[in-house]
Chains A and B, each alone.
Chain A
Amino acid sequence: MTNGAADEVDCALHHLAREDAGRVVALLTRRFGDLDLADDSVQDALIEATQVWRVKGTPSNPAAWLHQVARRKAIDRLRRDDVRRRRIAANAPDLAEPSTDVRAPSLIEDGGFDPGDERLRLLLLCCHPALELDAQVALTLRLVSGLKTEEIASAFLVPTPTLAQRISRAKRKIRSANIPMSLPTSLDDRLGAVRTVVYLMFNEGYLTRSPTAPAQSVDLCDEAVRLMRLVVRLAPEHAESHGLLALVLLTNARRDARFVDGRLVLLDDQDRSLWKYDEIVAGNASVRTAMAMMQPGPFQLQSVIASHHSNARNPAETDWSKIVELYDQLWSMTASPIVALNRAAAVAMANGPRLGLAAVDAIEGLDDYHLFHATRGELLARAGDHEAAIAALKRATEASPNESERLLLAERLARLT
């Protein structure tokens, strides 16, 4: 095989794992009523694809190939495993017998391969509130996004066995508590859980992303965007989902400007020509889609705030009074002290550091939060109170969990002393 052909096979294998595996897991889980079996069988089939395709080339319909082979693997496993077989006999009696047909459902063979409802069911199952939140995130990346356990572990900076255990514990609970793969009547609550998972994933990626961190084969921010696009495609009638998609798009669009020469750069100092304008345009479109639905919510408000930042050509063009108003609305919905802190920073930009400081000092419950002290320190410095600013920035440095932020704080301190 030539190099070009080998590359083509690798590319097809990658696409198979990332785009088709999740769909096939969803279909097989539905068919066999056994998530673990579906996952194991799809993994077996992916390994077989790696071996067979390199020799025989890529099949004409890779997704249908995967479904057919994974299904056969599942049936093989079933016949080998008596316990499983009994369980399946209850869920899908026709499959427990040797005379099973192994043809793919016509929808796959026709090439119209988009079992939307099945994928939504699988996503809701992975994000079921009865599972631990960390496990929901891991399971979603594993089964819906088609990532390898090692890839997820390295993205979260945890050892692979820890992550593998998290996933298998969640699978055990799904089985022992009989968590169903169904579409609930009130989809809204359950989609809220999905959004929490995506938001958590994005934040984790955003915070751990740094030029000094080891190169990641998987970027959690990109994964969050990808998942959120899937969520709005599968369940388009929910404004908050469009709001979260807009928020992650607009925030992620600024990624290349966040670090220069290995150093963190704050929003106002970023080189805006490095922002990804196609992503900002897509984010703006999602904001508009959400707004048109007239179901206000916190993610939508945050996305509107993000769009004010992302659409300003320079910091001076930012409409800070409007942003203060938006934070007021967000505060009335969430009563979160973090929102109050962001609002205070916007007040300082709109009305000067003294009024911003007054707003910061009115916040309770953030004494251990490094950005509370960092914001306070910055505003004190701008108000000319250098001594208090230094004390606050030192506290921020001590409390900061993040190397890039500590570096930035140290530089700020150096300029004050």
Chain B
Amino acid sequence: MHYMILLYSDETQVPDFAPGSPEFEAMMGEWMSFNQSLIDAGQFIEGSALAPTEAATVVTKSFGGSTAVTDGPYAETKEQLGGFYLVEASDLDAAIEIANRVPIPAGSFEIRPVGFRPSADGDPRPA
């Protein structure tokens, strides 16, 4: 079964280590080994870190066809969507276990079963 894990955290708390610094290397090391553990377990499908919300744009579409383009996330929230994983997990407990291991020290990780996902080989059935 496929689960999307949406990673919300306070983006102002993301450490700003200089690439090459020991702190940066340690942080990247944690992410690399987490990713590798997913790949080794056959659970990794896709995952990305997103650029901060200052780069975000919202397209709002209403019934009747009018659309509007505005700056930024549409609500001031304490935590922002900062990235996601799409994983293969046998059940919710397995997905929770993955979410527990995401190397972000504080945040909310929303787990959603994927309802419909046209796969790479063109098969549109949900997994």
Contact = CB atoms under 8 A, between A and B. Distances in A.
Chain A interface mostly helix, strand, loop or mixed?
A: loop
Contacts of A184: 93
B1 to A, nearest CB: 5
A182 B92 CA distance: 11
Contacts of B92: 128, 130, 177-180
Interface of B: 1, 90-94, 96, 111, 113
B96 to A, nearest CB: 8
Contacts, number: 22
A176 interface: yes
B91 A180 contact: yes
Contacts of A177: 92, 111, 113
Closest 9 CB pairs of A and B: A180-B91, A179-B92, A178-B91, A177-B92, A177-B113, A178-B1, A180-B93, A178-B92, A176-B113
Contact of A182 (B1, B91, B111, B113): B91
Nearest to A176: B113
A177 B91 CA distance: 8
Contacts of A128: 92
Interface of A: 128, 130, 176-180, 182, 184
Contacts of A179: 91-93
A369 to B, nearest CB: 27
A106 to B, nearest CB: 29
Contacts of B91: 178-180, 182
A128 to B, nearest CB: 8
Contacts of A178: 1, 91-92, 113
Nearest to A129: B96
B73 to A, nearest CB: 26
Nearest to A180: B91
Contacts of A182: 91, 93
A198 to B, nearest CB: 22
Contacts of B111: 177
A130 B92 CA distance: 9
22 contacts: A128-B92, A130-B92, A130-B96, A176-B113, A177-B92, A177-B111, A177-B113, A178-B1, A178-B91, A178-B92, A178-B113, A179-B91, A179-B92, A179-B93, A180-B90, A180-B91, A180-B92, A180-B93, A180-B94, A182-B91, A182-B93, A184-B93
